[in-house]
Amino acid sequence: MTFSAAGLPPGLQLASQTGIIRGTTPARGEHVVTLRAANRHGQDRRVFKIVSGDMTKLDDFTLNVLCNPEVIAVNQDPLGQCARVVTLSDDVFLMVKDLEDGTKAVGLCNRGEAKTRVTARWSDLGVDGRQSVRDVWRHRNLGEFAAEFAADVPRHGVVMIKVARR
């Protein structure tokens, strides 16, 4: 397997045989990186963000976004599947990711200019029956729901949940 990357900030290097990124960068800010892995069977790619700067000066909200263990676990799930998009309207959509343990991670997304109610119907997620819902950002169990879950999502916001069969 060989690896290549586009978008790495200066000072970071990719080991082409292992895919490990090492180094430090003086470039502050957010850097979108595309990592490609290829072998004789084909190739795959993942896009991720590197945030660089003085981590001691980040506020609690930003630290929670970057370091939230439940969100990181969804991102790093061993099943390795990308989320699929379920479009609900021009400004509202779901991101649905199957996880190795049989649960689903769901982002209720609002790219509109106003707060809106977003509903994840079990039929859109490919599940049925009573499901337990957990707020991944806030580390809270929200209860059991029979056919759908709805939340008010702020403008340009996301509510991230996990849905599990009860």
DSSP 13-41: EE-TTT--EEE-----EEEEEEEEEEETT
36 is written with which tokens? 């490609």
**Mean per-residue pLDDT for 140-159?**
97
Domain positions in the chain are 2-75, 84-165
* Predicted confidence band of residue 163 (pLDDT cuts 50, 70, 90): very high
**Mean per-residue pLDDT for 15-24?**
92
- Give the whole-angstrom CA distance, residue 136 versus residue 102: 16
Domain 2-75 has CATH 2.60.40.10: yes
53 is written with which tokens? 């700067």
User: Is 119 exposed, middle or buried, given 0-12, 13-18 or 19+ CB atoms closer than 10 A?
Assistant: middle
Please report which residue ranges of 38-146 form alpha helices under DSSP H: 60-67, 69-75, 122-125
Decide: 134 and 73 in contact? Cβ < 8 Å.
no
The CATH-assigned architecture of domain 84-165 is: Sandwich (2.60)
Question: For the chain, give me the number of helices (H) and strands (E)?
Answer: 3, 13
Radius of gyration of the chain (CA): 18
pLDDT digits (tens, 9 = 90+) for 109-147: 999 999 999 999 999 999 999 999 999 999 999 999 999
Decide: 102 and 164 in contact? Cβ < 8 Å.
yes
* Predicted confidence band of residue 157 (pLDDT cuts 50, 70, 90): very high
Please state the φ and ψ torsions of residue 96, each to the nearest 5 degrees: -120, 125
Same fold? 2-75, 84-165: yes
Decide: 149 and 142 in contact? Cβ < 8 Å.
yes
Residue with tokens 């090492």: 22
pTM for this entry: 0.74
